Chains A and B, each alone.
Chain A
Amino acid sequence: MEDFPLIRLEGISKYFGKVRANSHIDLDIRAGRIKALLGENGAGKSTLMSILAGRLEPDTGRISVEGQIRRFRSPKDAHLAGIGMVYQHFMLVDTMSVAENVLLGHEGGFMISPAQMRERVRKLAERYGLAVDPTASVGSLSMGERQRVEILKLLCRECRVLIFDEPTAVLTPVESEQLFTAMRRMAAQGKAIVFISHKLPEVLSVADEVAILRRGEVVDAFERSQVPDEAELARRMLGRSLFKEPGQAAFTGETEESGQGARDLQQVMSELPIARIRGWGGRAGRGRRIAQADSVLSLDGLSCRGAGTAGFSKVSFAIAKGQILALVGVAGNGQKELVEVICGLRRPDAGSLKLLGQDYREFFSDLPEQNGLGYIPEDRRGVASCPELSLVDNFLLTARKLFSHRGLLDRKRALRATRALIADHNIIPGNPQARGRELSGGNLQKLIVGRELLRNPRCIVAENPTQGLDVAATEEVWRRLRVARESSGILLVTGDIAEALALADYIAVIYRGKLVDLFSAANQEKVDQIGLMMAGSASAD
């Protein structure tokens, strides 16, 4: 048996329509090793792992487990072969206890005893260092704890291969460290770990082997020891795509260069009737001038009880033009409700909220179509876009007023604008008639960011704008936000400290609905404490 790797993928290919997600992929997964699968958005990492986990069937190629060829028709087949996946979106039942979740679907007798279940889960948790209370209801757990429940589910089923899909996206820095410790422990006990990531420091700190995917192909595979530092890893990951690559255009079926897209967009926008009359980027819409006050967004003692959640209370801060304020916190500490209130999706209970110097009631009663508010929601597929609509329609969701004339949509122009936007942002696939759901998360985000910035908003709310994006796409979003800052104030809501430090002038930390502290990003002493503040364990002074 020693001759065979635990899992061997050979010549795996998968097409979605004409889009090539995976092409002739060979990959070995060995017991006791942590393998990192590195690649940009849409590189095919998730597709490959869905194939291994039995959720998708490959068009060609074969999977062998310990030298024996297996065919996975459903996740159950993969389970039986000892392969399990920790999904980015947890597959848990919130109303049930940890123990019940862990033992759901576990083979065994017909009857179950709660006491035995608890004991079993407790022992398992201890063995792998995954601290979580077996009796707690999953709905009351933090994201990190929920992830541990997911891992325990797989361990309980005696999975030999554990696949992690961007596991640290929802974790605090401390929780991430704990996860890595648990991963090493699992590997030491003979499990094979595969983890999908595009965070280079993570890969360097935890992986034994690295495979790099680009456009559905494994372009490089090597031992961790072969790369000395992040720069080298980044070079290998981005490869030639760091520089302009001719292959890109061939893949999208479009032959526009990046600069051309931006020029096209400028051209389309300047031709819009609304822009001709009022000057694109010049004045506010509907003939109403927004006061050119310096304060873009100001909150004073703003409170809101969430629906079934804690919400937030007495939040005060102000953002002026040219500033970026990062609101940092672990997901679920009131950020979502705060953003909803600021963007007019929810009514505050108390306090004052002013956008561009106007009370929120006045502001939202006559929302300016230009130079107003731009919102980049966290939930790209739910709030920001309609998966079943084409890219043009998705583009028009918030830009529609720019493209309507006497109540009629100018679809021709919208199509041109979308095409230009696609070229400018290098969105794949490049077909404006493609449906929203055909885009990977990163490409969809590019479309959303482009769409929101198009109206030259004075106030921008960006909610985890780079979550799940690869290095190149993240840099691109950051660059565009920095450019947008010239003419606007930006509220950046993020769980990623690195992102906050990369962009923000001021940092506010939120915990359980209250601002723990607000300080300048240059205040090194405070910056060092952010991680602790996010966990609620630092006292605000």
Chain B
Amino acid sequence: MEDFLPYLAVLLPAMTAAISTGAPILYATLGELVMERGGVLNLGVEGMMMVGALAAFLGCYHTGSPWFGLLCGGFSAMLMSMLHGAICLIFQGSQVVSGLALTIFGTGLANYLGTPYIQMKIQGFTALDVPLLSSIPVLGPIFFQQDVLVYLSYILPFLLWWLLMRTRFGLALRATGENPAAVRAAGISPGAVRWAALMLGGFLVGLGGAYLALASMRMWVDNLVSGRGWIAVALVIFAFWRPGRAVFGVYLFSGITAYLFRAQALGVGIPTAFLSMLPYLMTLAVLLASSLRGKDSGAPADLANNLRPED
């Protein structure tokens, strides 16, 4: 019994860490989810997060305002997303190729431009205890002694669910992902809907990147995102394209990661190489698990297909 106590003791800090390490992935996953529900596959999330993180860092570094940095992060990733839109929605390029290129381009660009700033620190967002709630035993420290962006991430899934399921825009967005011809027949431009999805989704992905720079690290390092963008892409599939399940997937993922890191610190023989491999392994595992559901995965029927010019 005593042997297990240390492992139980790390559970609480592990869960606290899971919430804060999960937040950026949650932003990115929900952003990708919005784009994919609209029928656009964007594999550039990793690159967009890198650019978002750098822009957020620079914005905060030069103005001292983390909020300004956050906006910089969101809008820069939105611009990247619109590049994807230009390629796929205007020039009918392949969504897969464009997304991959976006990842390579974004990662390279951010690392290059960020080189002079490596190891430089910023103020960023720090923990902000919620009055009353933070003093609840166990739950308080886990959920309510976090930074303000984490609190925002609690509301975001509900907001997105509401947007998708309870607004006309959401109805059009979902329909565009399933059958753009039906949307066009209904007098709505599926192209415009996809642009909107790309911009909104891109902004959210950028917030995810910004979180890493402004709240997780509060300084610039090379390869800041290190695979989290890919995890977000995989988690959308794991979530069957539903915001609620995305929350579950994100915290399951970040929980396992956080726990294993702490277990290692306690001297469990987990090689460091394995731990840094973990995000990619779990991405593969998630994809395998979801593919077991086969055709019934809930993927938007028109996902990754370009709109055909009016016929």
Q: Which residues of A contact B (CB under 8 A)?
A: 55, 74-76, 79, 87, 91-96, 100-101, 103-106, 108-114, 153, 307-308
Q: Is the CB of A91 within 8 A of B181?
A: yes
Q: Is the CB of B174 within 8 A of A96?
A: yes
For A113, what are the chain B residues with a Cβ–Cβ distance below 8 Å? 166
30 chain-A/chain-B pairs, Cβ below 8 angstroms? A55-B310, A75-B184, A75-B185, A76-B187, A79-B187, A87-B185, A91-B182, A91-B185, A91-B186, A92-B182, A93-B175, A94-B179, A95-B178, A96-B174, A96-B178, A100-B171, A101-B182, A104-B182, A104-B186, A104-B188, A105-B187, A105-B188, A109-B168, A110-B167, A110-B168, A110-B169, A111-B168, A112-B168, A113-B166, A114-B166
Looking at the assembled complex, report how far the CB atom of A313 sits from the nearest CB atom of chain B, in whole angstroms: 20
Question: Contacts A95-B178, A95-B301, A96-B178: A105 and B183 contacting too (C-beta < 8 A)?
Answer: yes
For B188, what are the chain A residues with a Cβ–Cβ distance below 8 Å? 104-105
Interface residues on B, range: 20 to 34
Q: How far is the CA of A111 from the CA of B296 in the complex (A)?
A: 29
For A96, what are the chain B residues with a Cβ–Cβ distance below 8 Å? 174-175, 178
Q: How far is the CA of A109 from the CA of B166 in the complex (A)?
A: 11
For A95, what are the chain B residues with a Cβ–Cβ distance below 8 Å? 178, 301
Looking at the assembled complex, report how far the CB atom of B306 sits from the nearest CB atom of chain A, in whole angstroms: 17
For B293, what are the chain A residues with a Cβ–Cβ distance below 8 Å? none
For A79, what are the chain B residues with a Cβ–Cβ distance below 8 Å? 187
Looking at the assembled complex, report how far the CB atom of B39 sits from the nearest CB atom of chain A, in whole angstroms: 11
Q: Is the CB of B167 within 8 A of A112?
A: yes
Is B28 an interface residue when CB atoms closer than 8 A count as contact?
Answer: no
Looking at the assembled complex, report how far the CB atom of A39 sits from the nearest CB atom of chain B, in whole angstroms: 22
Closest 8 CB pairs of A and B: A105-B186, A91-B185, A76-B187, A91-B182, A93-B178, A79-B187, A104-B186, A93-B175
Is B172 an interface residue when CB atoms closer than 8 A count as contact?
Answer: yes
Provide the B145-177 mask, 1 if CB < 8 A to any CB of A, else 0. Answer: 000000000000000000000111101101100
Q: How far is the CA of A475 from the CA of B202 in the complex (A)?
A: 58
Residue ID in chain B nearest A117 by CB atoms: B171
For A153, what are the chain B residues with a Cβ–Cβ distance below 8 Å? 186
For A308, what are the chain B residues with a Cβ–Cβ distance below 8 Å? 295-296
For B187, what are the chain A residues with a Cβ–Cβ distance below 8 Å? 74-76, 79, 105
For B184, what are the chain A residues with a Cβ–Cβ distance below 8 Å? 75, 91
Known: A94-B179, A105-B188, A110-B167. 17 other contacts (CB 8 A): A74-B187, A75-B184, A75-B185, A87-B185, A91-B179, A91-B181, A91-B185, A91-B186, A93-B182, A95-B178, A103-B171, A104-B182, A105-B172, A105-B186, A111-B167, A112-B166, A114-B166
Looking at the assembled complex, report how far the CB atom of B123 sits from the nearest CB atom of chain A, in whole angstroms: 38
List residues of B (193-244) whose CB comes within 8 Å of A's CBs: none
Q: How many A-B residue pairs have CB under 8 A?
A: 65
Looking at the assembled complex, report how far the CB atom of A14 sits from the nearest CB atom of chain B, in whole angstroms: 15
List residues of B (26-43) whose CB comes within 8 Å of A's CBs: none
For A114, what are the chain B residues with a Cβ–Cβ distance below 8 Å? 166
Q: Which residues of B contact A (CB under 8 A)?
A: 166-169, 171-172, 174-175, 178-179, 181-188, 295-296, 301, 310
Residue with the highest number of chain B CB atoms closer than 10 Å, among A74, A93, A111: A93
For B185, what are the chain A residues with a Cβ–Cβ distance below 8 Å? 75, 87, 91
Looking at the assembled complex, report how far the CB atom of B109 sits from the nearest CB atom of chain A, in whole angstroms: 37
Q: How far is the CA of A105 from the CA of B182 in the complex (A)?
A: 10
Q: Is the CB of A104 within 8 A of B171?
A: yes
For B175, what are the chain A residues with a Cβ–Cβ distance below 8 Å? 93, 96, 100, 104
Looking at the assembled complex, report how far the CB atom of B175 sits from the nearest CB atom of chain A, in whole angstroms: 5
Question: Contacts A112-B167, A307-B295: A104 and B183 contacting too (C-beta < 8 A)?
Answer: yes
Q: Is the CB of A111 within 8 A of B166?
A: yes
For A100, what are the chain B residues with a Cβ–Cβ distance below 8 Å? 171, 175
Residue ID in chain B nearest A113 by CB atoms: B166
Residue ID in chain A nearest B178 by CB atoms: A93
Residue with the highest number of chain A CB atoms closer than 10 Å, among B175, B178, B188: B175
Question: Contacts A87-B185, A104-B186, A105-B187: A93 and B168 contacting too (C-beta < 8 A)?
Answer: no
Q: How far is the CA of A76 from the CA of B167 in the complex (A)?
A: 21
Q: Is the CB of B179 within 8 A of A93?
A: yes
Q: Is the CB of A94 within 8 A of B167?
A: no
Q: How far is the CA of A87 from the CA of B179 in the complex (A)?
A: 15
Q: How far is the CA of A100 from the CA of B172 in the complex (A)?
A: 10
Looking at the assembled complex, report how far the CB atom of B238 sits from the nearest CB atom of chain A, in whole angstroms: 19
Looking at the assembled complex, report how far the CB atom of B240 sits from the nearest CB atom of chain A, in whole angstroms: 12
Looking at the assembled complex, report how far the CB atom of B283 sits from the nearest CB atom of chain A, in whole angstroms: 26
Which one, A74, A76, A104, A108, contacts B172 given CB within 8 A?
A: A104
Question: Contacts A75-B187, A104-B172, A104-B183: A94 and B178 contacting too (C-beta < 8 A)?
Answer: yes
Q: Is the CB of B301 within 8 A of A94?
A: yes
Q: How far is the CA of A100 from the CA of B174 in the complex (A)?
A: 10
Looking at the assembled complex, report how far the CB atom of A306 sits from the nearest CB atom of chain B, in whole angstroms: 11
Residue ID in chain B nearest A308 by CB atoms: B295
For A110, what are the chain B residues with a Cβ–Cβ distance below 8 Å? 167-169
For A93, what are the chain B residues with a Cβ–Cβ distance below 8 Å? 174-175, 178-179, 182
Looking at the assembled complex, report how far the CB atom of B80 sits from the nearest CB atom of chain A, in whole angstroms: 28
Q: How far is the CA of A104 from the CA of B179 in the complex (A)?
A: 12
Residue ID in chain A nearest B182 by CB atoms: A91
Q: How far is the CA of A93 from the CA of B176 in the complex (A)?
A: 9
For B178, what are the chain A residues with a Cβ–Cβ distance below 8 Å? 93-96
Q: How far is the CA of A101 from the CA of B171 in the complex (A)?
A: 9
Residue ID in chain A nearest B294 by CB atoms: A308
For B167, what are the chain A residues with a Cβ–Cβ distance below 8 Å? 110-112
Looking at the assembled complex, report how far the CB atom of A56 sits from the nearest CB atom of chain B, in whole angstroms: 10
Q: How far is the CA of A431 from the CA of B310 in the complex (A)?
A: 26
Q: How far is the CA of A96 from the CA of B181 in the complex (A)?
A: 15
For B169, what are the chain A residues with a Cβ–Cβ distance below 8 Å? 110
Residue ID in chain A nearest B175 by CB atoms: A93
For B172, what are the chain A residues with a Cβ–Cβ distance below 8 Å? 104-105
Q: How far is the CA of A109 from the CA of B167 in the complex (A)?
A: 8
Residue ID in chain B nearest A153 by CB atoms: B186
Q: How far is the CA of A486 from the CA of B301 in the complex (A)?
A: 45
Q: How far is the CA of A91 from the CA of B184 in the complex (A)?
A: 9
Q: How far is the CA of A79 from the CA of B189 in the complex (A)?
A: 14
Residue with the highest number of chain A CB atoms closer than 10 Å, among B169, B175, B184, B186: B186
For B182, what are the chain A residues with a Cβ–Cβ distance below 8 Å? 91-93, 101, 104
For B295, what are the chain A residues with a Cβ–Cβ distance below 8 Å? 307-308
Residue with the highest number of chain B CB atoms closer than 10 Å, among A75, A92, A104: A104
Q: How far is the CA of A74 from the CA of B301 in the complex (A)?
A: 25
Looking at the assembled complex, report how far the CB atom of B20 sits from the nearest CB atom of chain A, in whole angstroms: 33
Q: How far is the CA of A94 from the CA of B296 in the complex (A)?
A: 13
Q: Is the CB of A92 within 8 A of B166?
A: no
Q: How far is the CA of A153 from the CA of B178 in the complex (A)?
A: 17
For B296, what are the chain A residues with a Cβ–Cβ distance below 8 Å? 308
Residue ID in chain B nearest A108 by CB atoms: B168
Looking at the assembled complex, report how far the CB atom of B138 sits from the nearest CB atom of chain A, in whole angstroms: 37
